Amino acid sequence: MTGGFRWLARLTAVLALCVVMLGAYVRLSDAGLGCPDWPGCYGRLVVPEHPGEVAPAYSGRALEPHKAWKEMGHRYFAGTLGLFILALAVIAWRHRRRPGQPVVLPLLLVGLVVFQALLGMWTVTLQLKPVVVMAHLLGGMATLAGLWWLVLRSIRWRPDAPAEALAWRGFALLGLLLVIAQIALGGWTSANYAALACPDFPVCQGSWWPPMDFREAFVLWRGTGINYEFGVLDNPARTAIHVTHRLGALTVAIYVGLLAFFLLRWGNAARVRRAAAVVALLLVVQLGLGISNVVFRLPLPVAVAHNGGAALLLLALLTTFFLTRNPRRLAAQGGDDHAD
């Protein structure tokens, strides 16, 4: 693995985190349809500044330049991220015979970015269909996780992890899967505008179990031609989504919290204990941000930070899972003279 590949992977991972948070900002500031078309905006390559510049085909939707610029800014950053990932794949392919050079993952990331672009298009053309919005969020998180895995592989780890670390690998994987499921629930909550369905905490609408419609809450496909901006569900369905997200948060808090505690208390490898400490810290911060979203009625900076916290918690658990692999294999990573 070349030094250039290492640094490009790290830079691209940082850019991917920025794109994920920028996407959350666009979604949470209700700018997801700031441009009613794709990849342009109101039929133009750049955002029109006046209604007279709007292409006739889109004259029926009022121009809001501040929202349109948010949407196009996200597209510009996402396009740049795609070019960086393509560069990683090209470098990986050119050095595919070098020991330790990952090739398959960079190529898969190119395919994932292409699919992400399609999801971005469908987000607009299908008018914020919740299942597409949620899939777009998960695709962004998967891209970020894949890039972070490349970063982890690029590090020259010292051979100080005892073999007993392998015993925690299954537990770390389960924690990782629970966080992914919770991120999906969070995306579904946001896409259905259910974040404020429960305006109080810890109860919801003054009750521990308010009226809820679970049957309508989790219908993934409702056909086409529906504008989902600001949501289409009744309050009981939105409440069901919100309460499910809370129950998911409680499950993650208990399991991941215990996992971090056990790793800190009985973990054999110092680097695994450090990763567990980061997981514990991010978990506490993420819970605090989630509660603040309810108590303070979804302030935009807190809501965006909540999305960023989910991404960082995902990366911290991915790191924990990575560090519980075979210690000899771990120590062989990142060098030009060792195969992975």
User: Digits of tens for pLDDT over the chain (340 positions)?
Assistant: 778 899 999 999 999 999 999 999 999 999 999 999 999 999 888 899 888 888 888 888 889 999 999 999 999 999 999 999 999 999 999 999 988 899 999 999 999 999 999 999 999 999 999 999 999 999 999 999 999 999 999 887 766 555 556 678 899 999 999 999 999 999 999 999 999 999 999 999 999 999 999 999 999 999 888 999 999 999 999 999 999 999 999 999 999 999 999 999 887 778 889 999 999 999 999 999 999 999 999 999 999 999 999 999 999 999 999 988 765 566 556 544 333 3
pTM of the model: 0.93
Residue 337, pLDDT score: 39
Residue 338, pLDDT score: 39
Q: Are 224 and 283 spatial neighbours (Cβ–Cβ below 8 Å)?
A: no
Q: Are 240 and 213 spatial neighbours (Cβ–Cβ below 8 Å)?
A: yes
For residue 181, CA distances in Å to 74, 134, 184 come to 25, 11, 5
Residue 325, pLDDT score: 74
* Angle at the Cα of 175 from the Cα atoms of 245 and 186, rounded to 5 degrees: 25
Residue 336, pLDDT score: 47
Supply the residues annotated as catalytic: 71
